[in-house]
């Protein structure tokens, strides 16, 4: 298959210039990346990125993949912390700025949290929603928040990011070290030398604290919603996935066997199938 042509754009929304890539044609699909990665093609081959699956998705949808505020080519110009509510408002403003009518929205991990809070705060803005591996923080006591505190802060009681501790943690294996080096290059190429430290610092508060929305709030989502997770995900448990699914008005649940906190071909298949069935106007 020929590689889909990708182009980068910037548009003013919610007080910032949001950078996004667009590829494919058809019903618009907003694709929200997870933490540590961006929407860049440089992430092809990394299993926590959508980059390797863009061509397949672009065969069926008009994919619009923005960089999160404070990540890569979307700069954070304010002094406020970057909460998930703020990220959700960025996406709502992006939808309006692009003139999209109830687009499909999908996200992985951090992007899935943002997508879901978008649908809670703006039920009328979303045509269909896929939350892949981002249902955990709707449990105020989710283990994932403590995992992120130890990862970003270097200790169980950390109150801020320790970028050097994060780098040491990722250096323990070659694949993780290579991913970390790619993250540093991605952030620094976009925002200047050493920006990767700022990026990690901006992520601490939202990933280590409850975002203020619980499973009960999922009932406010009007759009058909797929909760998609792996049965071996160390951040999002299958038990929490069931709770999220049962909290939805129009929910579906897909648990991928022998799968951790990654994006797989099987997961993309499940996402496409759901969006094509449930995302019709």
pLDDT of 62-81, one tens digit each?
A: 999 999 999 999 999 988 99
pLDDT tier at 280, thresholds 50, 70, 90: confident
Is residue 197 within 8 Å of residue 222, measured between CB atoms? Answer: no
pLDDT at 100 over 60: yes
How many CA atoms, within 13 angstroms, populate the side-chain half-sphere of residue 211?
31
Distance CA 47, CA 107 (A): 14
CATH 3.40.50.1820 domain extents, the chain: 7-140+212-278
Strand-pair category, 16-24 with 62-66:
antiparallel
The pTM for the full model equals 0.96
Tokens representing residue 275 in the block: 């969006």
- Mean pLDDT estimate for the chain: 96
C-alpha closest to that of 103 among 245, 280, 222, 228: 280
In percent, the amount of the chain with pLDDT more than 70 equals 97
Give just the sign of the alpha carbon dihedral 16, 20, 26, 27: negative
pLDDT at 3 over 50: no
Is residue 50 within 8 Å of residue 32, measured between CB atoms? Answer: no
Residue 108, SS3 per DSSP? strand
Tell me which CATH code domain 7-140+212-278 carries: 3.40.50.1820
Is residue 66 within 8 Å of residue 77, measured between CB atoms? Answer: no
pLDDT average, residue stretch 115-144: 97
Residue 209, SS3 per DSSP? coil
Instruction: Describe the crossing of helices 84-98 and 110-121 by its angle, rounded to 10 degrees.
Output: 70
Place of tokens 């999160």: 68
């Amino acid at each position: 298959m020929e590689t889909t042509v990708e182009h980068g754009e910037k548009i003013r929304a919610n007080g910032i210039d949001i950078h996004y890539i667009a590829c494919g044609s058809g019903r618009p699909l907003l694709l929200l990346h997870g933490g540590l990665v961006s929407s860049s093609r440089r992430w092809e081959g990394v299993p926590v990125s959508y980059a390797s699956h863009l061509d397949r998705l672009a065969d069926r949808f008009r994919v619009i993949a923005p960089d999160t505020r404070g990540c890569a080519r979307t700069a954070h110009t304010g002094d406020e912390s970057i909460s998930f509510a703020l990220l959700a408002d960025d996406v709502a403003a992006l939808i309006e700025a692009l003139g999209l009518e109830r687009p499909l929205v999908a996200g992985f991990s951090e992007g899935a949290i943002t997508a879901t809070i978008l649908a809670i705060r703006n039920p009328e803005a979303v045509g269909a929603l896929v939350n892949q591996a981002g249902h955990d923080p709707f449990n105020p006591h989710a283990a994932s928040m403590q995992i992120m505190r130890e990862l970003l802060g270097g200790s169980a009681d950390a109150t801020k990011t320790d970028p050097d501790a994060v780098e040491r943690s990722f250096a323990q294996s070659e694949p993780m070290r290579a991913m970390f080096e790619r993250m540093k290059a991605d952030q620094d190429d976009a925002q200047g030398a050493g920006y990767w430290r700022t990026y990690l610092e901006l992520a601490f508060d939202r990933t280590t604290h409850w975002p203020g929305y619980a499973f009960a709030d999922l009932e406010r989502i009007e759009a058909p919603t797929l909760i998609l997770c792996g049965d071996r995900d160390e951040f999002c448990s299958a038990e929490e996935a069931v709770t999220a699914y049962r909290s939805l008005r129009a929910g579906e649940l897909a648990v991928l066997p022998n799968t951790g906190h990654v994006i797989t071909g099987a997961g993309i298949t499940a996402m496409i199938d759901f969006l094509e069935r449930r995302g019709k106007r």
